[in-house]
Structure 1
Amino acid sequence: MLLECKAFYESWKVKFITKHVWLLVPALFFISFIPENATGITNLYRLLIVLPLILCVRPSDVEAFWENSTVKWFVVLCGWMTLSLFFDGVSYKDVKLFWRMLNLVALFYLVFLVFRYHLPKISNIQSTLLFFGFLGALLILADWAALRDFGIDSQYYRESSRGIFDHHLEVGWVMGLLGVISLNQFIRAAGWIKLCLYGCLFVFFSIVLLLVQARGGYILYSVGMVMLLLMTPTRRTMWLLVAAAILMLVCSIVFKNELAALWGNVLARGSSSRLPIWNNGIHAVTDSFSSLLFGHGLSAVTESIVRKFQAAHFHNFFLNHAFYTGLVGLFLYFGLVVSALKKALSSRETIVWGVLVLSMQVAFITDGDRLAVNPSAMMLCFLLPLAIATFSTYERT
């Protein structure tokens, strides 16, 4: 009986890995938008993503996973972040952060399995992500009361939230990500139907991003779009630039008052006290030689008081990461990113993911906290592209 169960389990595992594991990537996007409760999304991630991956672990796959040079940077960085949890003692918070660290490993292992066994499905995955992203954006718009009232208020953008995207910055990140991916699909599309489809999606995500008023999303979108167009110089991209210029001119005339009000809201927020927040971060990072070199630990608190309000963190990923893990962690992080970029930017099939990874580095100047996360905008908008970039040159043996 035991032998029969073992044989069934082994056959199921092989079948799932070789035929169905790629579906977990679109599932990750699906569960990120649909449930309204972040805790429910986390539980779904563990049930639908992490558990199947644990059941499907095979020694041969683990060995191939470790052979990737970028994975070595990733594992060492995760190891250093785990070690930093003990810098200030052990608590329940450390255990939670450790489990979140395992979420990173599960995500990278999932993408590895996709590239190892489902290389032809990469384009399908990108299209499916756009589909679920489109549905998610529609749900955000449906919940957006201020849009239904056609009013532009200085705080109305804060209503733009859904699922794990509980802040307008996070919505801006994911809309920027989807906009760049749809532009990439448009550039590479064959046939008028696909051209029209991806073109409409690109315009749709661009409009939602504009309404969200998330400056980090604007940065990700703008840098990603410019990089992608410069790295794919074709006649189609030239005509796209011309069409975009004409569309922007028309919109600036037709929607002059609305755009003026929208940009007025963005500018009225100024720098959102970023400079004093960054100043606090620099002082916290450099308060001693040991903290500068090794950090305060991943479970340390980055909250600070700035102009009578409390900032949750330093609103700069590099400052946050240096605070948590020191210059050692910052070096390992940049080593990981550079190693992944070398692969993604050398592959035409996955160049868009390298562009997104690089664009997120620019967006991280104004925001970003920890890498160790539950399903979040950080996971979908940075860690997922980073994982895809890591295995973008993988060749099946």
Structure 2
Amino acid sequence: MQFSIPLRRNPERAAHFLFCGFMIFLAAFLLPLSTKAVNNIYYTLVLLPLVFTLDRETLRDFHCSPLVNLWYALLGYQLLSYAWSIEYSEEFVPNLKRLFYLYGLGLVIFVLVRSGKPLSRWVIPAAPLLIALAAIGNMLWFYSAHDFPQARLVGASRISNPIFFGSIAAAFSAAALVQWHGWSRRYRLLLLLAVAVNLGIIYLSQSRTALLGVGVCIGSLLLVLPRLRWLALACAAALGLLALVVDWQPLLARGMSYRPDIWLAQWQRVVESCSALFGCGLGVNPQITLEPTHNLHHPHSIYMAWVVYGGLLGLAAYLSVLGLILRASLKVERLLPWVALLLVGLGATMVDGDKLLESPKALWLLVHLPVAVLLAEHARARRKDAPVTAGDPLRSDAGAVQ
């Protein structure tokens, strides 16, 4: 008797199982769970089913897109920077595992997109509402148990940390607002309420990274998408009105939070001890001490982290690949929510974050998730047997469709 795995015999059931597991994984980010617990959910409900449903055809179709290959080559470059690291580190194997986890994320989303699962129709409209509800619960717990100045630091290493919660709330709110004309009147009212709550959460958590991300998103939409300028201007006006009615002193009291000093110290170390072109390698310990009792464990910027680990060459590669992804995606109306989400993430990570090779954390929602969706859509469109729609910018042969 021949043995076969049930999920392999029924691709539709396998995709449905993956979709349910992935939705549970995303929902886990909103719960006060430890990073390890979220990781275990990802391994059990997402990666494990993927292993049993993956085949050679899926891998071939996934890698038919040059953008997919460029993105994972970029992540591989960051890992390979261990080769010229100035320090010994035992983190090579853990970072190799994280690279495979991120590769698995891309494959899972590609399987879901290719099978027609309504990822965008579920995630984009539901996320701002669920984030607002979860944020209210988190803030009630934070601010009832701790004094205001210290409350924003509670829950370190958890997604419920309000430092990151504000950025996530801003990113998914922007993604839903971009599709404003596509929503019903009832949902628009719910969305406006959720956005108001999320703005309050951003203010209470003193999340300037979130405000920077929103600013980058608004500025980008104003520059490159004339048809969405009304939305960008409306958001800018709402933020301006908010600035007039609230007390911004708690938000401004911390100044720049050592950011210029951190970046200058990191740059000086790269220039003096390593190579400005190739950086210090991923094995280096990025910790610096600005004051006798003030140790900082990472560069506090994704972009500066690229300089530290991969040098100016790594930073240029990161910006170039992201630019190619955004350039291709801005042409496609249905991808604009994910573009907006990514733009907020790219803005927020200007002043926070470390290396790209991370286990499931806030960076996944702000950067890796939208990038994975955009790449999956491009890979799906390049499949020879994919349905061709006239005028689809993702298909080079779309113009020939009559």
Where on the TM-score scale, by shorter chain, does this alignment land: which range? 0.7 to 0.9
Deviation digits for residues 175-220 of structure 1 (CA, Å, limit 9, x no counterpart): 21122123224x1334321221222222221221121111111111
8 Å CA contact 1:73–1:332 kept in 2: the answer is no
Q: Which residue of 2 aligns with 1:68?
A: 65
Q: Which residue of 2 aligns with 1:154?
A: 149
Equivalent runs, 1:170-319 vs 2, <5 Å: 170-185=164-179, 187-225=180-218, 227-228=220-221, 231=225, 233=227, 237=231, 241=234, 245=237, 249=241, 259-260=246-247, 263-287=248-272, 291-308=275-292, 309-319=294-304
* Selected match of 1:94 from 89, 92, 95: 92
Q: Which residue of 1 aligns with 2:392?
A: none
* Selected match of 2:361 from 376, 385, 392: 376
Instruction: State the one-letter code of the partner of 2:65.
Output: N
8 Å CA contact 2:79–2:96 kept in 1: the answer is yes
Quick one: distance in 1 between partners of 2:77 and 2:348? 24
Change (3 A) 1:168 1:131: closer
Instruction: State the one-letter code of the partner of 2:68.
Output: V
* Selected match of 1:21 from 12, 18, 28: 18
Equivalent runs, 1:282-361 vs 2, <5 Å: 282-287=267-272, 291-308=275-292, 309-361=294-346
8 Å CA contact 2:302–2:356 kept in 1: the answer is no
* Selected match of 1:130 from 125, 128, 131: 128
* Selected match of 1:40 from 28, 37, 41: 37
Is the aligned partner of 1:59 residue 2:43?
no
Instruction: State the one-letter code of the partner of 1:34.
Output: L
RMSD: 3.0
Quick one: distance in 2 between partners of 1:7 and 1:39? 29
Deviation digits for residues 233-254 of structure 1 (CA, Å, limit 9, x no counterpart): 479849x939x857965x678x
Quick one: distance in 1 between partners of 2:167 and 2:361? 11
Q: Which residue of 1 aligns with 2:347?
A: 362
Quick one: distance in 2 between partners of 1:55 and 1:276? 49
Deviation digits for residues 28-74 of structure 1 (CA, Å, limit 9, x no counterpart): 32111225222111111111122122222111110010011111111
8 Å CA contact 1:81–1:298 kept in 2: the answer is yes
Deviation digits for residues 263-320 of structure 1 (CA, Å, limit 9, x no counterpart): 21221101111121111111122225x6323332223211001133111122222121
Quick one: distance in 2 between partners of 1:166 and 1:195? 26
Gaps of 5+ in 1: none
Quick one: distance in 1 between partners of 2:156 and 2:191? 23
8 Å CA contact 2:266–2:308 kept in 1: the answer is yes
Quick one: distance in 2 between partners of 1:384 and 1:191? 26
Quick one: distance in 2 between partners of 1:172 and 1:33? 12
8 Å CA contact 1:291–1:323 kept in 2: the answer is no
Deviation digits for residues 66-106 of structure 1 (CA, Å, limit 9, x no counterpart): 01111111121122223223444875421111111112111
Aligned residues: 379
Q: Secondary structure at the match of 1:79?
A: helix
Gaps of 5+ in 2: 388-402
Deviation at 1:18, TM superposition (A): 4.1
Change (3 A) 1:47 1:131: farther
Change (3 A) 1:332 1:303: same
8 Å CA contact 1:178–1:205 kept in 2: the answer is no
Quick one: distance in 2 between partners of 1:18 and 1:9? 9
Q: Please give the TM-score of this superposition, normalised by the length of structure 1.
A: 0.85
Quick one: distance in 2 between partners of 1:336 and 1:117? 26
Deviation at 1:355, TM superposition (A): 2.7
Change (3 A) 1:390 1:86: same
Change (3 A) 1:164 1:49: farther
Quick one: distance in 2 between partners of 1:169 and 1:384? 19
Q: Please give the TM-score of this superposition, normalised by the length of structure 2.
A: 0.84
8 Å CA contact 1:31–1:45 kept in 2: the answer is no
